[in-house]
Amino acid sequence: MRQNSLAYAVAGVVIVGGLLCQWLLLSGGDPWALLGVFHHNYQSQLVNSLVGNAALNVRRPDFQTGIVFPRWGTTAYSENDTNWNVGLREIREQTQANWIQLTVNLFQPSATSTDVKASEATPSPEAIATGIRSAHERHYHVFMIPLLSVIGSERWSGDVRYHTTQQWHDWFESYWQAYRPYVVAASEAGAEEISIGTELSWMEHAPDRLWDLLIARIRTVFSGKITYDMNWTYKVDSLPVWMSNSGLDVIGVSAYYPLLLSQQNVPAEKIPVLWRENVGRYLDAIATHLRKSVLISEIGYRDTADTLLRPGQETSNAPVDEMAQARAFNAALQNSAKDPNIVGVFVWAWSVPVFQPNWRPAAQVIRYWYSALHA
């Protein structure tokens, strides 16, 4: 019996060794590829147990299933930007997104300067047009947004503010002159949707007539859908009148709402309830107040264990937890897919650490919901 058992054991080792050798040959000699397959299959099982049958009967063909794919530099999105075309292919394969968001980076010297301009980090209008056309060739719809930053600081667009009517006027004039070439390029290339601004929290309270003029100017150049993308820190009862302007088709929101007040472990099945209470009801309130549909123009979750606490923060000391990111996206998409006030979601952001869903459980969750919406 011992001799027979030993023979069987040796035969088993030979068979397994042969299969491993065959795998190494097929995988180009990379022994880690086999571990990658096991890890991917394990992740897939976790995702399947997470989403279950939640997407039954959620088909919404017109829902904007989007990914933000920001690029920087004068040739970004152009034929010279190989990562753009590679990314477009991978986004479709991994998420089944039907919409892609391009970002146009504009800058000003300080939070109080009224001089808005492009820089070496800004794609050229020609590159934007090329990127839009290449996205269309891959059957994406295109959404273009401006991102304003203050040069040489950590300050973002929400910090830009002025105190006199002349300063307001000068900024809007400079902003339009800087953004206009991109609006023209987007129009000529056939982009389906653009934003007039992104997260300009203080600027939102500039005189209504200046915003109305900006909307009218963009309408003379661009015939597609137009939105404005507010930050999640707004107060519904103080939303300005210009946001009800009929020239805006929808209102966008960067939805980085925290779902928790303190770090704690939350069962996966409870997170959609948290999302509905801490995000969904506020988005519904916006839709009711402005009488417009809401577009989640940007939503992202870090790949760390505390992503429900501070989803938009770029740094964290919490351990990496890719399934925490996946659970957060599942909650967001489960609620958004079933909310008639929400007409689309754009995930921040492809290939941007620490938010990227690329090759992660988050991408599988996104694919599950995006596929169901367009089934």
Q: What angle is formed at CA 120 by the lines to CA 115 and CA 121, rounded to 5 degrees?
A: 90
Q: What is the pLDDT of residues 192-224, one digit of tens each?
A: 999 999 999 999 999 999 999 999 999 999 999
Does residue 155 sit in the same domain as residue 43?
Answer: no
Tokens representing 129 are 């047009």
- Residues 45 and 125 reside in one and the same domain: no
33 lies in the same domain as 116: no
Question: Is the domain of 267 the same as that of 202?
Answer: yes
Cα(180)–Cα(217) distance, rounded to whole angstroms?
Answer: 9
Using CA atoms, how far residue 260 sits from 92, 277, 279, 360, in Å, is 32, 11, 11, 23
How far are the Cα atoms of 7, 110, 197 from residue 163, in angstroms, in the given order?
87, 15, 20
The torsion angles phi and psi of 196, rounded to 5 degrees, stand at -90, -15
Residue 15 is predicted with a pLDDT of 52
Are 106 and 242 members of one domain? yes
Same domain, 70 and 41: no
Interatomic CA distance for residues 50 and 19, integer angstroms: 32
Same domain, 152 and 5: no
What is the count of structural domains for the chain?
2
Same domain, 167 and 256: yes
Range of the domain at 23: 1-51
Residue (of 123, 143, 113) closest to 83 by Cα position: 123
Residues 322 and 194 placed together within one structural domain of the fold? yes
Helix axis angle for 165-189 and 208-221, nearest 10°, is: 20
Cis preceding linkage at 354, omega within 30: yes
Closest CA to 118 of 166, 174, 80: 174
The residue from 51, 68, 91 where one domain ends is 51
pTM: 0.88
- Residues 3 and 103 occupy one common structural domain: no
Cβ-count burial 315-352 (b if 16+ within 10 Å, e if not): ebeeeeebbbbbbbbbbbbbbbbbbeebbbbbbbbbbe
Q: What is the pLDDT of residue 51?
A: 82
pLDDT at residue 41, as a whole number: 55
The pLDDT score that the predictor gives to residue 335 is 97
pLDDT at 50: 85
In 232-293, at which residue ranges do the beta strands (DSSP E only) sit?
250-254
For residue range 238-275, list pLDDT tens digits in order.
Answer: 999 999 999 999 999 999 999 999 989 999 999 999 99
Q: What is the CATH number of the domain that holds 350?
A: 3.20.20.80
29 and 70 part of one domain: no
Task: Answer yes or no: do 263 and 121 share one domain.
Answer: yes
The domain boundary, picked from 33, 51, 69, lies at: 51
Which segments of the chain have a pLDDT < 50? 1-14, 16, 19-20, 23-39
